[in-house]
Structure 1
Amino acid sequence: MDCQDQAKATRDTKFSSCRGVSFELKPSPRSSSFTFEATDRPVHQPPPPAPMVQRWISLPRPFSSASSRMHAAARGSHAFGRPQSRPSSHFCDLDDEETDDESVSAVHAADEELGVVTAAGVADDTPGKAAAGARAPPKPAPSERSRLGVILLDQGLFTVYKRLFVLCVALNMVGLVLAATGHFPYAREHAAVFAMGNILALTLCRSEAVLRVVFWLAVTLFGRPWVPVVVKTGVTAILQSLGGVHSGCGVSSLAWLVYALVQVLQHRDVTPGEVVGVAAAILGLLALSCMAAFPLVRHLHHNAFERTHRFAGWSALALLWVFVVLSAGYDPATASYHRLTGSVLVKRQDLWLAAAITFFTFLPWLTVRRVPVKVTARSSHASVITFQGGVKGGLLGRISRSPLSEWHAFGIISDNGDTHAILAGAVGDFTRALISDPPTHLWVRGVHFAGLPYLLNMYQRATMVATSSGICVFMSFLMQPGPAELSLVWVAKGIEANYGEEMKAAAYSSERLRGRVIVHGTVVMGRPNVAALAVDAARRWGSEVVVVRSNPDGSRDVVTGCNEAGIPAFGPIWDS
């Protein structure tokens, strides 16, 4: 039976979705043989889904410049084209995730040229291959699984983040106990210095410029073929979880400040009252900042957390300078202040620590500027913001309408040429406003920071997994040359309508991927088992690691599924 006869025979064949919406096969208006198109006619008695089988099927030339193949067709069908996805409220579609607050040689024979792979089936008749398009298991009702629960609890009790937090706190508590018992005289006499040392450490862990250098060094030192994968994944886990050091040092600085204040109160006869008052104010501001960063508060009131963290921190830093100057100028022997000289100040350890904290705190703000932007919204689901200047692959950027109020981090799409862009899924007030009230200018930070995607350059072979607008953090890898051989799994709804034909074409035609691509349109194919897709892709293309960008629930599922299959995987954590 030729393609025309087959199209006629299947034209009235309908497939039921999980919401009573029928899918039917219709001839494509393009030159392709077939395409899926969704209709909105309800199906009162949907027939049970026919068993699905998978096989490799060569597609006609119009689908790809190479010899394209796709996964899976229903039994009795022979060739399907790529789906014409449309925006939909279909409940099977994956939710977008706003990104704020953040390497693969094919195992097939060399002479076997792979084209673009589209996942659609639910079973595989080839040994050694997983069911890439397996139907996702039913998800608990929202009341049974809150997003906060996924973020805070489902990531486990012994994550690298929490281990780093415990390690920092434990080391400081040991030093504090030794100081209090007289076994660490230096710490006993310089408790404030230890508090400031912790503040400097937590500042460095959040300094975008410092992290840019640290990530670059990690890729340079460990991104060599002879470095074992277990070492690379260990480094990746630590760098991804530096927030544990940040929060651990924050709690430890409070402990040291309390100890220092207790000592001052014990010797208040030789300590001026203004020094005690400033020290108490610093302690109060840091405690307020730590409470605002508590996961429950941070998740439910993110803007309040960000503003409190920023302004309380700046106020504490200003008072820290007052504390240093008062402490340096006071002479206990005469119970009076003396004139400060340069020779006295340069010998003060707390002065150098305060200077370092100030420098790294305000370094990113020295690059803040207001720039013109162009906002394009193809639908109400996402917007594309275009900026001037190229950006290296794997870097992220922050944008804001009000720089003192809030900042939002996004992945960057760029070929490292004249422009770069940000894809913002409309999932929050800020991102929805980009569509309803598109700005002509935005505030940006000139220092683009490195995140988890940047570490893909450390591996020889890696699989990228993205849902919806999470593809943004990976697009630059498709457009720029790099050391890693990559493969891609992208699951989204309304790909062409919401994200543009250009973005879909970039995934299909990327020279760097060389056909190692799985694109799953949920409007046509329903919600897939993304973890199964990721495991199948990683095994098929021999990946050393999987990096996923999705919502917290989806990222957790993919990371868990890959780890159970023996494949190292990383996704954003709640403190990314």
Structure 2
Amino acid sequence: MTRRGQEPFLKPFSPWVRFPVLRYILSARPCLDYWNGLPLASESGSLQARKEQLGVHPQSQYTRFCNGVHGESTRLGEVSLAEQRAVRPKLLLVLPERLISTYTCSVHKLTKPDKYVTSYRKVFAVIFTINFSVFIALIVQAGGSPDPRKVGTAASANLLACILFRQEEWVNLWYEIFTMAPHSWPLCIRGRLAKIFHYGGCHSGAGTAAVVWYVLYTFLQTRKYCRQPETNVTADVVCSYILTAMFVAILTAAHPTLRRKQHDYFEMFHRFAGWTAMVAFWTHNIFAAKAVAQETGKSLGYVLATSANFWLTCVATCCTVASWSRLRRVDVYPEKLSDHATRLHFKHRAMKPFYGLKLSDRPLTEWHAFATIPDRDPATGTVNGFGVIVSNAGDWTREQIQKSEARKLWVRGAPLHGLLYTSRLFKQIVLVATGSGIGPCLSLLYANKTPCRVLWSTRDPRKTYGDEGVAEVQRADPKAVIWNTSERGYPNIVLEIQTLVDECNAEAVYVFPTPR
């Protein structure tokens, strides 16, 4: 006789619970009771009817095991393939980058996704594969040890790619290109295009590759200097070691474990070490060009003008300067929604839907990204600014909630497209949010371009987020499921998602848990 949490699990739902994000959502209530691995709602009769409707049998032909919602071993019952096809359409699960990749969940292929093989890491691996191919080509071309100058060019190219994928206009351009696909294209293709929000893999992959290339460049130059000591390359070698030390330090501080535990220190170190490395890189380029000019007898200006490193570094520097040149201190008008959340209103510019912005009160130390929500003038209906919802998720956000007076905050860079911009690729979607996770969704709901159903599970929605927040959700989806956990307890979120998917035949599900 099995324990309740280990009873046979309805297989058409099994892909959902296998996703770490749903285990993450459900783990907020460790004392939940489970029916077939799902949390029990108060309407037990409706669940039993749903079970009979889906044709679930107590004895399944096959069984398999996977991690349950709390890491326990939960047995999964399988139904026939015909029953699976009748229950589940082909569906796409789209989740924030910090949690999990985008996966295609089909009843024809119910495989457990590997939490280590995410799309972010796949992009990272592709970047490294390309660089390794270039490395092999340089070895073959040189017939042995590669040319240090070409190795340096490869390092500069990767450094530029790393910086470009943190430049707002460049990222927005890729979003625009990837979301141009029409709805007539197959879902599998549109699903792949939706993974553009994993562009962070290009940033980290190119940055890591740049460090590896530069370590190799430093080794080659050191070996050359030891064999033939020349005063004209001494400065180049010294700069190379300084740069290598800075790059390795940045790479170490960016390790996910260190970054997660000490994010503020990571951010400061990443920024100041990056600026120092940029100055050192320019110094290195000048000294390297001077050494080449002495060897070839050409002028320093000519060597710089014909150097790929020089132009790559110019573009990388311009990208960095462009972002910080738009640093502004603007007025903020807070609207306190509750002790848990506040809405900050900005009037210095209008904002279209699907954009995010970085805010700070200490621009050299920390920045916080938020999804923006266009503010509409009730009298005219025109957009006269934008707002962001700030929930209590840390020291900085708690401080913003406690301050009720008008003040000033720093904004930097151009507005940046967010994850929900990819919703344009789908005919119908389901939005799932818990708590303040509804914040990023409000921009999409305001635009009202992609038909969607909404499932919002939160504590006292009107008391916490105000009548206007609830009205915005209901304006986009009059049948929105707004689940008040204070009155109804925690929902059977997996079953609720399945119900909405069946009702609207959604192509994708976007899940936004409460930020932590």
Q: TM-score range by the shorter chain?
A: 0.7 to 0.9
Matched, 1:368 2:327: yes
Query: 1:131-280 alignment to 2 at 5 Å?
Result: 139=70, 156-180=115-139, 182-183=142-143, 189-219=149-179, 221-222=180-181, 224-237=182-195, 239-268=196-225, 269-270=229-230, 271-280=232-241
Q: Distance in 1 between matches of 2:234 and 2:413?
A: 43
1:280 shift after superposition: 1.0
How far does the alpha carbon of each residue in 1:236-284 deviate from its partner, in whole angstroms, 9 at most, with x for none?
A: 12x1222222212122111111111111112212452111111111111
Q: Distance in 2 between matches of 1:352 and 1:457?
A: 37
- Asked if structure 1 preserves the Cα contact closer than 8 Å seen for 2:335 and 2:344, the reply is yes
1:180 shift after superposition: 4.4
Report the AA paired with residue 213 of structure 1.
Answer: L
How far does the alpha carbon of each residue in 1:343-382 deviate from its partner, in whole angstroms, 9 at most, with x for none?
A: 4422111111001111112222121200000112232111
1:171 shift after superposition: 2.6
1:288 paired residue number? 249
From 267, 275, 287, give the equivalent of 1:326: 287
1:297 paired residue number? 258
Q: Distance in 1 between matches of 2:186 and 2:241?
A: 49
1:544 paired residue number? 507
- Asked if structure 2 preserves the Cα contact closer than 8 Å seen for 1:225 and 1:460, the reply is yes
2:304 paired residue number? 345
Report the AA paired with residue 235 of structure 1.
Answer: L
Query: 1:405-484 alignment to 2 at 5 Å?
Result: 405-415=365-375, 417-438=383-404, 440-482=407-449, 484=450
Q: Distance in 1 between matches of 2:161 and 2:495?
A: 40
Q: Distance in 2 between matches of 1:296 and 1:152?
A: 16
Residues 531, 199 of structure 1: alpha-carbon distance in 2 compared, 3 angstrom cutoff: farther
Alignment partner of 1:373: what SS?
strand
How far does the alpha carbon of each residue in 1:325-350 deviate from its partner, in whole angstroms, 9 at most, with x for none?
A: 11222247569x98533x44221111
1:377 paired residue number? 336
Residues 459, 358 of structure 1: alpha-carbon distance in 2 compared, 3 angstrom cutoff: same
- Asked if structure 2 preserves the Cα contact closer than 8 Å seen for 1:93 and 1:523, the reply is no
Residues 152, 227 of structure 1: alpha-carbon distance in 2 compared, 3 angstrom cutoff: closer
Report the AA paired with residue 371 of structure 1.
Answer: V
User: TM-score if structure 2 supplies the norm length?
Assistant: 0.74
Count of residue correspondences: 417
Residues 174, 381 of structure 1: alpha-carbon distance in 2 compared, 3 angstrom cutoff: same
Q: Distance in 1 between matches of 2:223 and 2:260?
A: 40
Residues 517, 334 of structure 1: alpha-carbon distance in 2 compared, 3 angstrom cutoff: closer
- Asked if structure 2 preserves the Cα contact closer than 8 Å seen for 1:387 and 1:420, the reply is yes
Alignment partner of 1:283: what SS?
helix
Q: Distance in 2 between matches of 1:370 and 1:543?
A: 42
Report the AA paired with residue 261 of structure 1.
Answer: T
The structure with the largest helix share of the pair is 2
- Asked if structure 2 preserves the Cα contact closer than 8 Å seen for 1:471 and 1:490, the reply is yes
Q: Distance in 1 between matches of 2:53 and 2:192?
A: 28
Alignment partner of 1:403: what SS?
coil
Q: Percent identity?
A: 24
2:60 paired residue number? none
Q: Distance in 2 between matches of 1:487 and 1:183?
A: 61
- Asked if structure 1 preserves the Cα contact closer than 8 Å seen for 2:356 and 2:415, the reply is yes
User: TM-score if structure 1 supplies the norm length?
Assistant: 0.67
1:162 shift after superposition: 1.2
Alignment partner of 2:115: what SS?
coil
Q: Distance in 2 between matches of 1:199 and 1:168?
A: 12
Q: Distance in 2 between matches of 1:278 and 1:140?
A: 50
Q: Distance in 2 between matches of 1:255 and 1:517?
A: 50
1:481 shift after superposition: 4.0
Alignment partner of 1:166: what SS?
helix
In our comparison, the structure showing a higher alpha carbon Rg is: 1
Q: Distance in 1 between matches of 2:55 and 2:203?
A: 40
Matched, 1:401 2:361: yes
Residues 526, 285 of structure 1: alpha-carbon distance in 2 compared, 3 angstrom cutoff: same
Residues 379, 339 of structure 1: alpha-carbon distance in 2 compared, 3 angstrom cutoff: same
Q: Distance in 2 between matches of 1:215 and 1:198?
A: 21
Matched, 1:500 2:466: yes
- Asked if structure 1 preserves the Cα contact closer than 8 Å seen for 2:457 and 2:482, the reply is yes
Report the AA paired with residue 428 of structure 1.
Answer: G
Note the aligned Cα RMSD (angstroms). Answer: 3.0
Q: Distance in 1 between matches of 2:479 and 2:425?
A: 19
Q: Distance in 2 between matches of 1:332 and 1:254?
A: 26
Relative CO higher for 1 or 2, CA cutoff 8 Å, sep ≥ 6?
Answer: 1
1:473 shift after superposition: 0.9
2:23 paired residue number? none
1:569 paired residue number? none
- Asked if structure 2 preserves the Cα contact closer than 8 Å seen for 1:179 and 1:188, the reply is no
Alignment partner of 1:414: what SS?
strand
